[in-house]
Amino acid sequence: MPDECSLCHPDLAPKLMTSEAWMLILNHNQNLLGKCFLALNRHLEAVTALTTEEWLDLQVHLRRATDMLISAFQPDHFNYAFLQNQDRHVHLHIMPRYAAPRTFGGSTFIDPDYPSHYAVPAPVHRLPTGQFAALAGYLQQRLQ
């Protein structure tokens, strides 16, 4: 069981915020506009081993992240998932779902599977570097 992983070194990913226990990271794959995840600040692989303080902090910041996405893109629904298939480090996916296309920075984003199951593996929609940075900034401005 490794005690270090890529989520222990998330400098590669844009962090939208860091709290006591969690960091909010924007996914490079933006197949669902605004898709992001909350990763625990320490390496832990079992969700059931989270402390009470970490659960309480998760509740606060899950609400903040959800409100941020509502403010930015008005998703029609949200999927939340602890999957940890590729990265065992505890993290919670926040997947905004859309009944109709959204646009950002001149790109159009669709959710072809709405309202049914989120497709795994997800289709890939990577943004050009400048547009990705603009998206991160746009979301950060809406983080209350």
What residue ranges bind Zn ion (CB under 5 A)?
5, 7-8, 43, 89
Kindly state the smallest distance separating residue 27's Cβ from Zn ion, in Å. 17
Other Cβ atoms within 10 Å of 117 Cβ, number: 8
Cβ proximity to Zn ion: between 50 and 110 the closer is 50
Cβ proximity to Zn ion: between 5 and 110 the closer is 5
Kindly state the smallest distance separating residue 35's Cβ from Zn ion, in Å. 20
Cβ proximity to Zn ion: between 7 and 58 the closer is 7
Kindly state the smallest distance separating residue 50's Cβ from Zn ion, in Å. 14
